[in-house]
Amino acid sequence: MDKILLMLQLQAQLNDATNGEDWTKGITQNGKVINWKRCIYMECAEMVDSFSWKHWKSIHKEPDWDNLQIEVVDVWHFIMSLAIEDYAKNMRGNIIDLALNISELPSFSKIDTHHNLFDSQDNVINKVENIIILVLNKENFNLEELLNEFFDLVIMSGLDLETLYKLYVGKNILNQFRQDNGYKEGSYIKVWDGEEDNVIMKKMWEEDANLKPEILYKNLAKKYFALNKS
C-alpha cells in the first residue's frame, strides 16, 4: 500500500500545482474543463501505436516495449487523477482510503510480484481496448473494474509494482521539469538530440538504480540546458 499511497499523493500534488487546488471539481484554475476519461482513452490510442498493428504498413516491425511501458505510466497518471476525483465528488473518502481500497483489489496482488515478461501483441491491444471501452461507458462507469483492467495491463506490459512505481516517480519528476520550463506555454522542447525526454528519463533511471528523485531532476536540467543553449 505504501507505494500506491505515495504515487497518489505525488499525483495530487502535481495536479494541485498544474491545475489549482480545486481540480477535483473538474475545472482548472483557469476555468478549463478537465476530462480525465478523455485523457485515458487518448493515451491508450498512443499506446496501441507501440505495435505494428497496421496491416498495410511495417508489418514485420518489432513492438516498442519501452514506449509501451512509458505509455502505461502516462495512463496511470490519469487513472489515479480520475480515481481521486471520483472519491472526492462522490464523498467516498480521502487518498488514504483510496490507497487502501486499491491495495485490496484482486488484481493488485498480482502486480506486487517481480516479473518482466511481455504478453502477446494482440492480447495487450485487446486489454488496452477494454480500458477504452470502460472509460467511454458514461452510464455505468466502474472505477474498480477500470483499476483491475489496468493492473492486468501492467503485468502484460512486463511491469510490476516496483517498476511501475519507479517509472511513475521518474515521469512525475519529468512532468514537474516540463511545467517549470514552458510546457504549458508551448516553449518546452520535448525531443532532446533526437530522443524524446521520456526515453532519456527512463535511461537515467536504468543507469543508476539508486538515483534519488531530486538528483534525477538536476540531471534532466543539466542535459536539457546543455542541448538547448540559447
The yes-or-no verdict on residue 230 having pLDDT over 70 is: no
DSSP codes joined into one string, 159-220? --HHHHHHHHHHHHHHHHHHHHTTTTTT----EETTEEHHHHHHHHHHH-TT--HHHHHHHH
- Domains (range + CATH), the chain: 2-169 (1.10.4010.10)
Among residues 14, 23, 4, 20, the alpha carbon closest in space to that of 147 is found at 4
**What's the rounded Cα separation, in Å, for the pair 89 and 185?**
30
Q: What is the pLDDT of residues 77-118, one digit of tens each?
A: 999 999 999 999 999 999 999 999 999 998 888 887 777 789
Q: What is the pLDDT of residues 144-183, one digit of tens each?
A: 999 999 999 999 999 999 889 988 988 888 988 998 888 8
